[in-house]
Chain A
Amino acid sequence: MKFSIIVQAAPYSCQSAETAYRFAKTLLDTGHDLHRVFFYGDGVHTGSAFASPPQDEPNIPANWQALAADHDLDLVVCIAAAVRRGVLDDTEAGRYSKSGSNLAAGFELSGLGQLADAIAQSDRVITFGA
């Protein structure tokens, strides 16, 4: 079955950030498809390459990156939510004259059209809210 996941929870603020990752990993391990993961609201912080949690804690951004690499996942970070929270790719960093960008590899900034597409294309959409 084809799933899409919406993550609205910021990593390390809400448990649902970890639940979302576990759900994604489990559905992939059991043979389902994950069409897209859409990070929205405070969930956009998942896409920050600067996250540096202690080594004995789950590294939520890195976990998503590894899962995306293993399963060729589409990790989309809402561009409007991300830019205002300081999660920028090279293009946006240039647009806003910032000294650097911090969108982690494996994530991409895009718009709500990608969420609408995910809802249209998927058998199930599940939200992990904050």
Chain B
Amino acid sequence: MALHTLNQPPGNTQCLERCLNALSDGDALLLIEDGVLATLPAHASRFDAIAANVSLFALQADLDARGLNVLKDARFTVVDDGGFVDLACEQDKVVSWY
């Protein structure tokens, strides 16, 4: 099982779609940097096809910096930098999408 990080905005559709297609059962997806823009309700449908046991996260500092904390889709759990490190430890490997 892997932690996937995505730092590209949803406008980079190729990167987002490649990342979403690579998610397997038990993986975690952490949106970081401009990747957190995908937590907006306008992009919520992109995550509808993801398996139920793939957990979704977004990095707090990047949500805060963009004013998205109150706007984000409820499926995303907010983690701080320590939570980022914890996710990397919990999963077997880290795959970075950029």
Contacts and interface: CB of A to CB of B under 8 A. Distances in A.
Interface of A: 1, 3, 8, 15-16, 19, 22-23, 26-27, 30, 32, 124-130
B51 interface: no
Interface residues of B, number: 16
A8 B91 CA distance: 22
Given A8-B98, A32-B85, 6 more contacts: A3-B88, A15-B33, A16-B98, A124-B88, A126-B5, A130-B98
Nearest to B83: A26
A15 B62 CA distance: 10
A23 B33 contact: no
Nearest to B98: A129
Interface string B32-55: 111000000000000000000000
A126 B88 contact: yes
A23 B7 contact: no
Contacts of B88: 3, 27, 124, 126
B98 A23 contact: no
A130 B84 CA distance: 19
A16 B33 contact: yes
B96 A128 contact: yes
Given A128-B96, A129-B96, A27 B85 contact: yes
Contact of A26 (B7, B32, B34, B84): B84
Nearest to A29: B82
Contacts of B33: 15-16, 19
B94 A23 contact: no
Given A3-B88, A130-B98, A15 B7 contact: yes
A22 B81 contact: yes
A1 B93 CA distance: 12
A127 B4 CA distance: 11
B98 A1 contact: no
B74 interface: no
Contact of B34 (A1, A15, A128): A15
